[in-house]
Structure 1
Amino acid sequence: MIKNNGQEWGGTRPLRVRVMASLAAAIVLSLAVSLGATAGAFHALENAVQDVGFGLRERNASGQIHIVEMDAASVAAINRWPWPRGHYARVVDQLDAAGVRSVAFDVDLSAPSRAVEDALLARSLERARAAIVLPVFSQSASFDNTRQMDTLPLEDFRKNVLLGSVSVLPDPDGLLRHAFFGTINDGAARASLAAQVAQHSGAAGTRFPIDFAIAPATIPRHSFIAIEQGKFDPEALRGKDVIIGATAIELGDRYAVPTHGIMPGVVVQALAAETLARGTPVSLGWLPAVLLAGLASCWILLARSGVQIGLRSVAVVAATLIAWHMASLYLVLTVMIVPAMLVVIAASVLRGAMLLHQVFEKNRMTDTETGLPNLRAMQARISTNTDMHLVAAMIDDFDSLKAVIEGDGIVTLLARIEDRLLASGVVAPIYRIDDRVLAWFTPLGYSAIGDQVKGLVAMMRSPLEVSGRRVDVRLAFGISEAFAVSGAVHAASVALRKGDPFAYHETAGKAALEQQISLMGELDAALDNDELHVLYQPKLDLVSDQITSAEALVRWQHPQRGYMNPDSFIPLAEEMDRIEGLTLFVLKRAIRDLGAWCDRGFIIQVAVNISARIISSPEFVGQVERLLQANGMPQGRLTFEITESATMRDPDSARAALLRFRQLGVNISMDDYGTGQSTLSYLRNFPLDELKIDRSFVQHAHRDSDDALMVRSTVGLAHGLGLKVVAEGVEDEACLAFLRAAGCDYAQGYHVGRPMPADELADTIAQKRVRAA
């Protein structure tokens, strides 16, 4: 394979550019995932991951909290329901005598029973030295009435006890994962039963995640009937916190929970109390993990191979899982990691797709026989070489050479020819655009190219060594403008037929040149005679829904040629140094119309396009300064729209000019953003007020996900830099609605309004204000 001048013909972007591109991609991915996380799209997956985490870090309960369970043995022994409350009284007496620290009931004591039984329990509660906690809860009034009714213990029971809420709220999937710090019951804030037992405080109405990593089987349990009959070791309960509740199936009170399936309510309360006893659970949500994953994704997006992608992805995922596990195990932190994992996965998939695309593009643009870039590759580079010339070298009698040279000899032949080209001073990548044609771009002028080609012809008189034989090769060269590839090949063919060393290709000839010169003379006359006119395309403020600004657009109705498309004379005016006069004409007309609108009571902004060729011109800057000072232009009424290329051609001069315009009260807008090479961090170095997203990204953004992502990310990043955002190319209501939702500031396009004369724009603004009123 031919090395092609030791260069990667496709070009390798500098590290800084690759880092910035990776950072931008990571930000976009993070924003996209964040939108999904905000919308709750990942809750089910997050719950599944958290459930797995509970199993991985399973641990024993503290032993401080005990359960006295109303189990099947107790139900059989008492043999009636509801239980006479004397049974509860005897259990409280037994526990109090054993020296427990607290006794909490997860049993409804709101309805009166036999008076003598209620009196027994009331006296037992009153004389207990241990802290007593009785349950309160809320429930719907009936199936078809969602009014909440508060349920409290009997008044006689409430005199000497604490009240603890046992209300719970399962998640939408039916599983109970959280408990309340407290609730509002009977018009008062009540700590939850778990908070009372754990002696923990928290705001009413807020919830905390229950730690289901605590193994329920390790919570000490005692049968209710055994406690009542004194058949237990008092020392085992001294100083402990006891929760009394039902575990027998026939008594109900069971909940579906993660990891453990169906669980009695009293066990859930005990786990909640165990959770709080360990410390206040802190939920960091998904944002911190997404931010860290976004940074890590930059590293993944910089990978240069599939192996690197795999290794870096595995490293990031492993580090994330370890940090998540350790935080949950030792720091009482809950972190949602699914969005972060999705950012990492998306970055890996994106980078993998990019590498596959690069391989595909390289194969598509590579000559399979020699490894040189092919015709497609050259055509792709024409736009970046418009100010250069093209040289095509055609091999004479190529078919005969192929017949004589066997095997890989033809590749060797082309490699020897390339060596001669490089030795003669060709420094650009060399393309194989046809079996017998090699070509390259050159910045040399026609005269210098001719001299170089003559040297090449002389060098090629020496035979080439190919596969052990000496081969005579004759080349003929065609020279053309960079865009005329077929013209260069044709010129080389003509030179070959005529026996000349090279030939030039003329694209348009003298007639086209004379026409251009004539048109520019007519433009000069039109400017002198005030024959051009300026139209204004309105911009809609998406917050106020009013037209608050417009873009000035020059139009030319030629007396003989008719309507002249701006593309037919503005680029030519730039090439032939007429653009400064044309720009000053538009600027003067815009200042005049701004004054007229002001007289009618309309205060709006006008944007004027400034060519990259004059942005740094001292003469133009001076003209603008004198013009603004002469007309007393108020601050912020005028905006200059510049292209990305204007700032990148000579950044220092452009920055100085833009700063001067800002000092004169002119706003600066970056036009056609997204079509060039600049990034927002690069643009931050310039005194910008506004970004204008190119219409190619806007007009289909409401139905194209890639365009939508570009618009949303640009809006977010621009707002982060304090810049307003204008979207041009809005042609229907759906697109306008999308831009509103995306947070764009201004919209411009035919749906908002076509370019119109100054008076018509004023009438349009007035009508819109009347409708709004």
Structure 2
Amino acid sequence: MKKAVSTTARSWTIIIVSMLVAVALAQTGWLRMMEDETRAVIAQLGPKQASGQLHLVEVDAASLAQAGKWPWPRDHYARLVDQLDEAGVRSIVFDIDFSSHASPEGDAAFASAITEAEASVVLPTFAQRASETAQDRVEALPVPSLRENTSLASVSVRPDADARVRRIVYGTVTDDTPRPSLSAQIAGISGAVGEDFAIDFSIDPRSIPRHSFANIEAGDFDASQLAGRDVMVGATAIELGDRYGVPTYGVIPGVTVQALAAETLMAGAMAEFGYFPLLALAALLSLFVIRSHVYLQVAMRVALALTVLFTVEALAYHSARTMFEAVPGAILILFTGFLQSAWIVRQTLLEESLVDTQTGLPNALAFNRTEHKGAEFTVTAFIKEFDSIRAVLGQERLGKLIDRLVDRMSSVHSLAQAYRADTRMIAWVHQGDYQQLIDAFEKIDQALEKSLEVGGRRVDVQMAFGIASGADLDAASRAASHAASEGKLWHAHEDAEAAIIEQRVSLMGELDEAIGAEQLKVVYQPKLRLETDRIESVEALLRWEHPTRGHMRPDLFIPLAEETNRIDRLTLFVLKRTISDLLEWCKDDVVVSAAVNISANLITSDRFVAAAEHILQEMRVPRDRLVFEVTESAAMTDPESAARNLERFRELGVLISIDDYGTGQSTLSYLQQLPLSELKIDRAFVQNAHVNRSDGLMVRSTIDLAHSLDLRVVCEGVEEQACLDFLRENGCDYAQGYLIAKSLPPKELASMLETQGQVVAHG
């Protein structure tokens, strides 16, 4: 959740920064130019034809050649007005300067034609600077004689900084009077003085109907084409110089610019909303860009986002006659893409810095940057004789060695995440008890007795381990180096030793509570009698389900209980529970014997023996149904006391079994002094007896000697069918192990025994 929040915050930070950059750039002239060029391209994506309502009468080169020197006598315009009025045009709009007097006769003829015309006549007015550097403005109006029966309209044009005309004002003020522009006059639209509008350059100027001035003046035209139309008269001949630059179409006559403006207004002025709407859209699209994880993905998403952005602008322009500014949004998307790419570069470099290049494992920097929640200990494994191994394998094969080593270690001990702390050291964090680590070190050490194969070479690797409390890699590394230099398998840093002591004390206190709170349970592992192929005996095993630590392994807490003199309470607890279960099984006619392990420290303890005798006499277990399994070392420590106490138990009907036989120094003849009924061969000899000649010989000879002493034999650790077959062939009485069955709760065991039928095992 925290990572998701962080990612969201970073995403919006990038977008806000990019938006600020886009808004700042939107105020600059060069971005304005980019916007203008973009809009010009968009305009050409959907070219339109002119309405046909407006016609141009051009003072073109042919007209100049026919009429003579410019400016013309105004009787030419009089004849033009007469011809157009007779053709039935709706209005005649001039884009020609009439602010100075010509010949009196010509001015009079033109004024008379205007007066007599039924069509409305519009003459131009404009204001301009007195000079290029002056601030004073000079106003130009038609001569007074021409104003009397005409309307005046502004023809002022304001090119942008790049000398291109893109907008026309709705009106200006001349002679202290507001005047509409020619385009507004023709379209019949009013607007505020000084307010301008964008010309729609998607209208093709070539589609505006045109006529030569000379042809109209001479009456050489089809009057039906002009009836009811608006006519704009202006100069288009190059030599007259009334020309302006515009987007897309280059340099065109001023009268054409006015005509395009009029066509724009007749279709409806373009609505303009600036850059904010598309900037908001770009922000949403940028979220899509920010979710990219690789450079190519960034590029593809940026391209897609830009396509969407400009498509929206184009659709709005051509379908809704609405103008948005997309370039700031495009800058936002591009800058977002740039920042995301920079982030990916940073992350890539960071990830590379956190990974060991030879193995791909995270390195020490990654370890220190990781939050190791719940880490009880940090563990490091130091590779001994590393320089010699490197000399044999070569630098290029060291990565493969580390990989093989991690695999071998993981096969016997779970490594949540292995780190290559340095060239010769592997690290991980451990969540759990220290005893599990000690066991793991021994298992790993045993697993490494078999050589590792790297690049066709067999390499023997030895390791030393270091333990530190919490997530302290440096302390663990020093501890591992110390263990290697001292020739020890492992060494705990002083803080880890303190944590171990604290953990042991805490665990033993919790064990006391567990006994009282009944967190401890007894389960039973079946033993198969090979003669009948039935389960006729079981071994009682203690289980501890800790409310916070979960399942606690017996080999973790039982040795601690022995060290802290709590083993008697545990054993008496198991004894009571086992007898209770035996009695319950007897009520259900389930006949089976059950074995309880008796610690070496308890055989010679008079207090324990007295307590156990009291339980046996009080609970009255059926004779020969209860077995005490005593370790071989217990019998050898004080054989006289052991024999005396075991005899007391035997008199109460308890069978005595020697557990883990073969791991001590005794012989069967020596153990003949004890009241034994059973001998249990240790799993270390049984597991491979069917494949290992020496183990097989030891098991076979022990079975024969035990039988000669009238002892039954139990072999534990049976996990393969071939091993069971070997034991059956050599006369073993009972087999115990995962192949037979795993440990079961009392009720499940009873159900299993009922399904197979019962055979009385003893007595």
TM-score, with structure 2 as normaliser: 0.60
Deviation at 1:306, TM superposition (A): 3.0
Counterpart check, 1:29 vs 2:15? no
8 Å contact 1:198–1:277 — kept in the other structure? yes
> Alignment partner for residue 309 of structure 2, among 320, 324, 329?
320
Equivalent residue for 1:581? Answer: none
Look up the SS of the partner of 1:295 in the other structure.
helix
8 Å contact 2:281–2:309 — kept in the other structure? no
Counterpart check, 1:118 vs 2:103? no
8 Å contact 1:386–1:483 — kept in the other structure? no
Using a 3 Å threshold, how does the CA distance of structure 1 residues 181 and 457 change in structure 2: closer, same or farther?
farther
> Alignment partner for residue 396 of structure 1, among 359, 368, 384?
384
8 Å contact 2:412–2:447 — kept in the other structure? no
8 Å contact 2:94–2:124 — kept in the other structure? yes
Structure 1 gaps of 5+ residues are: 1-11, 511-773
Deviation at 1:264, TM superposition (A): 1.0
Distance in 1 (CA, whole Å) between partners of 2:404 and 2:21 is 52
Letter of the 1:350 partner, please give it.
L
Equivalent residue for 2:85? Answer: 96
Which stretch shifts more, 42-51 or 168-177? 42-51
8 Å contact 2:87–2:223 — kept in the other structure? yes
Deviation at 1:403, TM superposition (A): 6.0
Letter of the 1:437 partner, please give it.
M
Letter of the 1:370 partner, please give it.
T
Q: RMSD in angstroms over aligned alpha carbons?
A: 3.1
Distance in 2 (CA, whole Å) between partners of 1:30 and 1:61 is 39
Equivalent residue for 1:375? Answer: 364
8 Å contact 1:454–1:501 — kept in the other structure? no
Deviation at 1:41, TM superposition (A): 4.2
Deviation at 1:154, TM superposition (A): 2.7
For 1:436-488, what per-residue CA distance to the aligned partner results, in whole angstroms no more than 9, with x for missing partners? 201134566xxx34642443333432345733998764432223366754432
Letter of the 2:446 partner, please give it.
R
Counterpart check, 1:64 vs 2:53? yes
TM-score, with structure 1 as normaliser: 0.59
Letter of the 2:428 partner, please give it.
W
For 1:241-261, what per-residue CA distance to the aligned partner results, in whole angstroms no more than 9, with x for missing partners? 110111122222111222222
Distance in 2 (CA, whole Å) between partners of 1:407 and 1:379 is 26
8 Å contact 1:104–1:193 — kept in the other structure? yes
> Alignment partner for residue 78 of structure 1, among 67, 85, 94?
67
Matches within 5 A, 1:696-715: none
Letter of the 1:479 partner, please give it.
I
> Alignment partner for residue 143 of structure 2, among 134, 151, 154?
154
Counterpart check, 1:181 vs 2:167? no
> Alignment partner for residue 458 of structure 1, among 416, 419, 443?
443
8 Å contact 1:431–1:439 — kept in the other structure? yes
> Alignment partner for residue 494 of structure 1, among 456, 469, 482?
482
> Alignment partner for residue 134 of structure 1, among 115, 123, 148?
123
Using a 3 Å threshold, how does the CA distance of structure 1 residues 227 and 379 change in structure 2: closer, same or farther?
same
Deviation at 1:421, TM superposition (A): 5.4
8 Å contact 2:375–2:471 — kept in the other structure? no
Distance in 2 (CA, whole Å) between partners of 1:148 and 1:40 is 26
Distance in 2 (CA, whole Å) between partners of 1:426 and 1:401 is 25
Look up the SS of the partner of 1:26 in the other structure.
helix
Which stretch shifts more, 197-206 or 498-507? 498-507
Using a 3 Å threshold, how does the CA distance of structure 1 residues 176 and 479 change in structure 2: closer, same or farther?
same
8 Å contact 1:460–1:473 — kept in the other structure? no
How many residues end up aligned between the 2 structures?
Answer: 495
Matches within 5 A, 1:685-700: none
Letter of the 2:442 partner, please give it.
V
Matches within 5 A, 1:317-716: 317-381=306-370, 390-402=378-390, 411=399, 413-419=401-407, 428-442=416-430, 448-449=433-434, 451-463=436-448, 466-467=452-453, 473-480=461-468, 485-506=473-494
Letter of the 1:314 partner, please give it.
A
Equivalent residue for 1:748? Answer: none
Distance in 1 (CA, whole Å) between partners of 2:445 and 2:460 is 8
Which stretch shifts more, 200-209 or 156-165? 156-165
Distance in 1 (CA, whole Å) between partners of 2:48 and 2:290 is 39
Using a 3 Å threshold, how does the CA distance of structure 1 residues 253 and 386 change in structure 2: closer, same or farther?
farther
- The structure having more radius of gyration, on CA atoms, is 2
For 1:51-106, what per-residue CA distance to the aligned partner results, in whole angstroms no more than 9, with x for missing partners? 33344333322222111111122222221332222211221111111111111110
Distance in 2 (CA, whole Å) between partners of 1:161 and 1:453 is 110
Distance in 1 (CA, whole Å) between partners of 2:154 and 2:32 is 27
Equivalent residue for 1:288? Answer: 277
Letter of the 2:385 partner, please give it.
D
Structure 2 gaps of 5+ residues are: 499-763
Determine which structure has greater relative contact order: mean sequence separation of CA pairs < 8 Å that are 6+ residues apart, divided by chain length.
Answer: 1
8 Å contact 1:19–1:302 — kept in the other structure? no
Deviation at 1:185, TM superposition (A): 2.3
Using a 3 Å threshold, how does the CA distance of structure 1 residues 471 and 71 change in structure 2: closer, same or farther?
closer
Distance in 1 (CA, whole Å) between partners of 2:458 and 2:132 is 100
For 1:114-152, what per-residue CA distance to the aligned partner results, in whole angstroms no more than 9, with x for missing partners? 333222222222222222221111111234431122222
8 Å contact 2:380–2:467 — kept in the other structure? yes
Distance in 2 (CA, whole Å) between partners of 1:408 and 1:250 is 82
Distance in 2 (CA, whole Å) between partners of 1:186 and 1:391 is 95
Using a 3 Å threshold, how does the CA distance of structure 1 residues 124 and 439 change in structure 2: closer, same or farther?
same
Letter of the 2:445 partner, please give it.
M
For 1:693-739, what per-residue CA distance to the aligned partner results, in whole angstroms no more than 9, with x for missing partners? xxxxxxxxxxxxxxxxxxxxxxxxxxxxxxxxxxxxxxxxxxxxxxx
Distance in 2 (CA, whole Å) between partners of 1:36 and 1:364 is 36
Distance in 1 (CA, whole Å) between partners of 2:154 and 2:376 is 81
Distance in 2 (CA, whole Å) between partners of 1:73 and 1:414 is 93
For 1:566-608, what per-residue CA distance to the aligned partner results, in whole angstroms no more than 9, with x for missing partners? xxxxxxxxxxxxxxxxxxxxxxxxxxxxxxxxxxxxxxxxxxx
Deviation at 1:263, TM superposition (A): 1.2
Matches within 5 A, 1:748-767: none
Using a 3 Å threshold, how does the CA distance of structure 1 residues 170 and 322 change in structure 2: closer, same or farther?
same
Distance in 2 (CA, whole Å) between partners of 1:457 and 1:132 is 111
Counterpart check, 1:237 vs 2:223? no
Using a 3 Å threshold, how does the CA distance of structure 1 residues 236 and 392 change in structure 2: closer, same or farther?
same
